[in-house]
Structure 1
Amino acid sequence: VTAAVIITSTLKKLGAKVEVYLPHREREGYGLNEEAIRYLKDRGVSLLITCDCGVANPSQVSLANSLGLTVIVTDHHQAQAELPAAFAILHPGLAGESYPFKFLSGGGVAFKLVQGLLRYEGCHLSQTEREIQEKWLLDLVAISTVADMVKLTGENRTLVKYGLTVLRKTRRLGLKKLIEVAGLNFDDLDTYAIGFQIAPRINAAGRMDHANAAYALLMSENSTEAEELARSINLTNSQRQAITDVMFKEACEQIGKINIKTFFIQAYKPEWSLGLVGLVAGKLVQQYNRPALVMCQVGDKIAGSGRAGVGGFDLANALTACSEYLVSFGGHKEAAGFSLSINQLENFLSKFAKLAKAHLSGQDLTAKLAVDAVFTLDKIDWHIAEQVELLEPFGQGNPGARFASYGVLIANTQPVGSAGQHLRLELSFESSHQRFIWFNSAESSKQFSIGDKVDVVYEVGVNEWNNTRQLELKVVDIKKSDS
């Protein structure tokens, strides 16, 4: 959606007549489809620009060519052996591509196309107008980059750093309203807010029904319409969360107990929502520390989504190796989607299991938590927080600094949050005391009591509220101390 807004808003600024087509995730799947191409041809479209898709659709691009359409593909997903015969393919990761940074998001690639258009000598906008157009797209580029979970290094880190500055002062009415209904403080917006608050709400529209609602929100120039759309999408996201939780619980019940010889996990229920299986797969990877496939039934086919998560396992390559059993597939090393005939499910899972076993070891499947430094509580101060801030923004490939303190006492606890889902902790060591926040810990925290001696891993940050700045120590993990 963000890539579509980046391109269409710029084309309209340049005076082009633009029609947007966002496929329905469940009925049409991912990427180009023939019905959509024929529909656009009948609408009088002459130039077809894909957003975040197309590199895995050579036959569909050939159809578009045969109908007289000019096709430009903008994509960042893993390419397959046959590339589409498009007029142009913008994809930083293609073999032979000279662009120096290979890990742009779908929105990042769209932004590169826009930059090219704005810098084209035939562009009628003034230099100032071009710079303004580029600048005020960076909020969407930042959202796309974080949501796509691409590496937050190199150019991506730069795009997100400046994109966050733009996001905090965004001119998009719909985005403003969405941030407000989510209860977020504009000055505190960071990659965490994008990844866990803003992007899930934008994506919820497409996961639960149709992405058109999210597109309309981001393009809205009417305050009343924007607020109505934001509230509707916020409600949709709440429904998405509830259904995802039910699916996750059912998937865990299917999986049952695992052992060191379980190299991947899979769950399948025909009635599950295709728009949510990827989210469930991601939660399963976190729970079991193994690659996960989650599937449902769509028509007479099985459709699913996978997440890799551990040991450098390449999900896209694994699906390529299983292609004889698949109707379609595509994605990245870390995340991918696929579909297959029901009668091929057993063959597919058998082949996938062999691949996982060949590429993963027991050590890969053992959960690990990297710690950057060990401190006693009295050493945690503003100097550390300020040094950590210099390393932001954090995300994939640039994780936040994590610290550990061992043998500290739980001096006090206080549930916080609308439903008591978070826990405020006061931890002490000798004469030093520090306050921590442990998010979404309602269940995990039940095993701990005041007076317990624990080891804690945490992140050091700054919380700004009502014009005050406070150290914020976020618990990453906690366990009872062995000593």
Structure 2
Amino acid sequence: MISPEWVINHRQIPSDVDEVISILVKSRAGEREDEFLHPHLSGLKSYMEIKNLDEGARLLVSHLERGHRVVLVGDYDCDGITSIAQLVWFFRDIGYGNFETIIPTREEGYGIPLRALEQHAGAPLFLAVDCGTHDVEMIGALKDSGSDVVVIDHHEVTDPSRIAPATVLINPKQPGCPSRFKDLCSSGLTLLFLIRVRQMLDGRWPYPTLDGRYQSLAALGTIADVMPLTGANRIIAKAGLERINEDRFPPIRILRDVAGLSSRTINAGSVGFYLAPRINAAGRVGDPATALSLLTATEIDDMNRAARELNRLNTARQLEESKILRRISMYLKTRRIKNRTLVIAGRGWHPGVVGIVASRVIQNFHYGPVIIGTVNDEGVVRASGRSIPGFDICRALQECDEFLIRWGGHEAAAGLTLHLDMLSEFRKKFEAFASGLPGDIFIPKLNIDLEIPRELIRDELVDHLSLFEPHGPGNPLPLFVTRNCLLENVKPFGTEERHLSLSFAGGLKGIVWRARDKGFAPALTPGVFCDVAYHLELDPYTDLPRMIVRDVKIRK
């Protein structure tokens, strides 16, 4: 367990629930209090000023009017798959059948795959989502074959000279884009794109409603891609979660069922921990087309079959992840790692899970940028990196470009490929970049909203906190600290007793998920007084407030 430094953002201790809520609203909503507390789809109008959005919509409509074949290409993760799924439903809704879909496998790698050119050279229009910004060679080849290429993407533009020559590029991060909100992912951009396309269709086409299917899919992609849930993303996530909980979109309802969530309200956490991993599992350890087939299926039997397969793949992903994490844990226990960064590669590690493992390593073993890779028989390392706040991993990779075959991503996560004989030099250059940054970045911090007294932990507060949903980056779950709590009982539970149930004086209950992994268990013994950092929720069994404990400091 990496013990974080507590940073309390608001020092005033509130005297009542209204004061707690007022403090939280001011700290999160800023000048946009009404939009924050009451996000509505109509608010998306103010986010539509995106470079080339109109041009891309107009080009698609012109091809549709001529009956041209359209090839949809998307990344193999949840964002790419939900983007393609929206486009598929849109074409069906307007009665347009002349289209194909292509999702690369992880073996083919990120970006537009070669088979798109081999199978569809000369297709009048390619529409690439969640990829393409830097696919210089492939997009150049597609255009040379006579195709128009529209790219809808959100990945960082680290070098404007390396932007691919798409006919139309829709990416808020490209130079010259006037968008006031740069953090839309591709599924959110696709929804805005389809709003604009719908406006440009004339009376010959049926009018698509962009209903709960589209909203649910855009929310899934936005939450799965760990985008800041602020601005347009908050509007999309809020609306999409409401539609998901209405249970009107059978593919997601069936995915909920296989994930064991049929009787639970779905929130952003449910998507992030249960639904999105199953969709992503197809791209990580199987065929991403399985996930697309679920989200675009019209027959219940097909949905059930695809959902069961995604569940199986997710289990396989979890087993592979645990295997690699154990290996890395053993490696780290035998060494004293003094570097700010960690770069590890192993043979036989599945490339589809190394990114998740990197995140887990940061959480549990090494607070700093972590890159985990797998080495193939040709001596090539395919790796994924995860970062920490304040460390832009793409900037670091740009400094290390001389050692890399290719790379891409955004500030917090990236993928990269390099030759094994370059790994040592890359590791040194990557660490040198980190060494030039302020040391404070590499100290883990737990950002706590405010301290509240024990008597404010009651139903009323939990009810009011629902105003702040959905939660994610940019709008995390409110985190509180309450001091001098007397711990009366500690009870392990769950598989291998990995979790802890806590009872405090005064009847307050708490849960520590994965306590054993975090090293909590030895310090938590009945009779100690402690300061507790926690989120609040209603216990699903008692309907009483309980703490979801993030950290504990034992009082001396």
TM-score normalised to the size of structure 1? 0.92
The corresponding residue for 1:6 is 86
What amino acid does structure 1 have at the position aligned with 2:102?
Y
The corresponding residue for 2:35 is none
What amino acid does structure 2 have at the position aligned with 1:137?
Y
SS at match of 1:15: coil
One of 244, 247, 255 as aligned partner of 2:324 = 247
1:378 offset after TM fit, Å? 2.3
CA distance in 2, matches of 1:123, 1:95: 36
CA distance in 2, matches of 1:470, 1:256: 41
CA distance in 1, matches of 2:203, 2:136: 31
CA distance in 1, matches of 2:373, 2:148: 35
What amino acid does structure 2 have at the position aligned with 1:18?
F
SS at match of 1:122: coil
1:424 offset after TM fit, Å? 2.3
The corresponding residue for 1:450 is 526
What amino acid does structure 2 have at the position aligned with 1:114?
L
The corresponding residue for 1:482 is 555
One of 183, 193, 200 as aligned partner of 2:260 = 183
1:260 offset after TM fit, Å? 8.5
1:159 offset after TM fit, Å? 0.8
Contact 2:277 / 2:314 at 8 angstroms: preserved in 1?
Answer: yes
1:280 matched to 2:320? The reply is: no
One of 167, 170, 195 as aligned partner of 1:87 = 167
1:60 matched to 2:138? The reply is: yes
CA distance in 1, matches of 2:231, 2:356: 27
CA distance in 2, matches of 1:124, 1:135: 24
> Residues 412, 250 of structure 1: CA spacing in aligned structure 2 closer, same or farther, 3 A cutoff?
same
Contact 1:139 / 1:170 at 8 angstroms: preserved in 2?
Answer: no
CA distance in 1, matches of 2:104, 2:309: 20
1:242 offset after TM fit, Å? 1.4
Contact 2:508 / 2:546 at 8 angstroms: preserved in 1?
Answer: no
Q: Any idea what the Cα deviations from partners look like across 1:131-184, whole Å, max 9, x if unmatched?
A: x32443111111111111111111111111111101112433222111011111
> Residues 265, 3 of structure 1: CA spacing in aligned structure 2 closer, same or farther, 3 A cutoff?
same
Is the deviation greater in 167-176 or in 151-160? 167-176
SS at match of 1:324: helix
Equivalent residue runs for 1:83-482 within 5 Å: 83-122=163-202, 124-125=204-205, 129-130=207-208, 132-185=209-262, 187-256=264-333, 261-287=338-364, 288-298=366-376, 300=378, 301-310=380-389, 312-361=390-439, 363-417=440-494, 420-428=497-505, 432-443=506-517, 444-447=519-522, 448-463=524-539, 469-479=543-553, 481-482=554-555
1:87 offset after TM fit, Å? 1.3
Higher relative contact order (CA 8 A, sep 6+): 2
CA distance in 2, matches of 1:202, 1:316: 26
The corresponding residue for 2:11 is none
What amino acid does structure 1 have at the position aligned with 2:191?
F
> Residues 470, 124 of structure 1: CA spacing in aligned structure 2 closer, same or farther, 3 A cutoff?
farther
Contact 1:136 / 1:170 at 8 angstroms: preserved in 2?
Answer: no
Contact 1:139 / 1:166 at 8 angstroms: preserved in 2?
Answer: yes
What amino acid does structure 2 have at the position aligned with 1:236?
L
Contact 1:139 / 1:164 at 8 angstroms: preserved in 2?
Answer: yes
Contact 1:77 / 1:331 at 8 angstroms: preserved in 2?
Answer: yes
1:414 offset after TM fit, Å? 3.6
SS at match of 2:374: strand
SS at match of 1:339: strand
SS at match of 2:221: helix
CA distance in 1, matches of 2:253, 2:212: 17
Structure 2: 5+ residue stretches without partners: 1-80
1:463 offset after TM fit, Å? 4.9
Q: Any idea what the Cα deviations from partners look like across 1:62-121, whole Å, max 9, x if unmatched?
A: 000011111100110112332111111111121211222110012112212211111214
1:36 offset after TM fit, Å? 2.9
CA distance in 2, matches of 1:18, 1:275: 29
1:473 offset after TM fit, Å? 2.3
CA distance in 1, matches of 2:466, 2:359: 28
What amino acid does structure 2 have at the position aligned with 1:354?
A
What amino acid does structure 2 have at the position aligned with 1:216?
S
TM-score normalised to the size of structure 2? 0.80
The corresponding residue for 2:70 is none
Q: Any idea what the Cα deviations from partners look like across 1:407-436, whole Å, max 9, x if unmatched?
A: 2222223444466443322111xxx22112
Q: Any idea what the Cα deviations from partners look like across 1:45-64, whole Å, max 9, x if unmatched?
A: 32111110000111110000
> Residues 236, 400 of structure 1: CA spacing in aligned structure 2 closer, same or farther, 3 A cutoff?
same
CA distance in 2, matches of 1:153, 1:263: 30
Q: Any idea what the Cα deviations from partners look like across 1:10-29, whole Å, max 9, x if unmatched?
A: 1222233221111010x211
Percentage identity across paired residues of the two chains: 27
CA distance in 1, matches of 2:325, 2:120: 38
Is the deviation greater in 402-411 or in 207-216? 402-411
CA distance in 2, matches of 1:98, 1:433: 54
What amino acid does structure 2 have at the position aligned with 1:347?
E
Structure 1: 5+ residue stretches without partners: none
One of 14, 18, 22 as aligned partner of 2:99 = 18
What amino acid does structure 1 have at the position aligned with 2:404?
L
CA distance in 1, matches of 2:105, 2:288: 7
Contact 1:254 / 1:267 at 8 angstroms: preserved in 2?
Answer: no
> Residues 103, 32 of structure 1: CA spacing in aligned structure 2 closer, same or farther, 3 A cutoff?
same
One of 110, 126, 133 as aligned partner of 1:30 = 110
CA distance in 1, matches of 2:425, 2:391: 20
Contact 1:201 / 1:237 at 8 angstroms: preserved in 2?
Answer: yes
CA distance in 2, matches of 1:162, 1:423: 35
Contact 1:260 / 1:365 at 8 angstroms: preserved in 2?
Answer: no
1:125 offset after TM fit, Å? 5.0
CA distance in 2, matches of 1:357, 1:185: 48
Q: Any idea what the Cα deviations from partners look like across 1:232-274, whole Å, max 9, x if unmatched?
A: 2112111211110111121233334676842101211021111
